[in-house]
A and B are shown apart, each in its own frame.
Chain A
């Protein structure tokens, strides 16, 4: 099968009570005429409406759109998500950010090292997304400080438990 895009956005509003128990309200939205207006409406209008009928507090929300493969092919024998390709990159302010790729191909790792071959054409095609503007015309990758990623400087093979993603 293939990844098939779902036609809706899922809004999950996370709530918490006095004893820190968690619960949520889930709803779908098929079309968002103006995404910016909608994102503003969540904490102001939707949260306010919930506050009128609930004693819990809203602690956060997520809005998600997905594409899902409902019948994926069997992964190859060599696949192992705990074998990760960890790419390190610099932001325009000199900070570093990392991106992990589960089950990095061993053929992209330089023999007798754990270094990923950054000169390989397949690797370049991927790192161009991290430090370039090829993902979107208007959006690019940033760090958690909102600093643009400007250069991938290193790629290493690591083994990490899959529970950490």
Chain B
């Protein structure tokens, strides 16, 4: 946990639409909602009192850089998978997974391939359902994978 950076950032904009920001590093991990509430009620007013710019965005950021070794020669992030889930509300959630493993089989159909064995996404689905994840548009991922294809 010590390697996780805990940052608060206030984004400011000036008359010429140029951007700047203030960044503070925090001591503890707390609720992100509580932290942003404190930033909005304490830090932002104190900042706006001493700057001529306007606040356009406030971010509370936790981030971690992981140790890694260079992947094998077959890895290519543009060789991605587009995966679709149908959720319990009958909505369709989607994620793009970079560098689809070259061991995964798909049909060679013109410019894209359909991934035939959807069970390869079972572990990922289980993890995302447990964590109550949503896709980037906010659609819950709480169902099963209904389709996946190569997305280059």
Contacts and interface: CB of A to CB of B under 8 A. Distances in A.
Contact of A125 (B4, B27, B34, B46): B46
Contact of B75 (A18, A61, A68, A148): A18
B25 A29 contact: no
Given A30-B134, A75-B54, A103 B120 contact: no
B50 A139 contact: no
Contacts of A68: 56-58
A65 B26 CA distance: 15
B92 interface: no
A129 B46 contact: yes
B127 A45 contact: yes
A73 to B, nearest CB: 6
Main secondary structure of the interface of B (DSSP, over half): mixed
Interface string A84-111: 1100000000000001111111001000
B133 to A, nearest CB: 5
Contacts of B34: 136
6 contacts: A8-B138, A15-B99, A54-B100, A99-B23, A139-B26, A162-B19
Interface of A: 3, 5, 8-11, 15-19, 21-32, 35-36, 38-43, 45-47, 49-50, 52-69, 72-82, 84-85, 99-105, 108, 122-123, 125-126, 128-130, 134-136, 138-144, 146, 148, 162, 165
Nearest to A28: B134
Interface of B: 1-2, 4, 6, 8, 12-16, 18-40, 42-44, 46-47, 49-66, 68-81, 95-102, 104, 120-121, 123-124, 126-128, 130-136, 138, 141
A55 B76 contact: yes
Nearest to B63: A62
A69 B57 contact: yes
Given A5-B40, A25-B95, A63-B61, A69 B14 contact: no
B17 to A, nearest CB: 9
A144 B63 CA distance: 13
B19 to A, nearest CB: 6
A60 B65 CA distance: 4
Given A26-B136, A57-B69, A81-B19, A138 B28 contact: yes
A126 B42 CA distance: 9
A65 B32 CA distance: 7
A18 B22 contact: no
B123 A49 contact: yes
Nearest to B99: A56
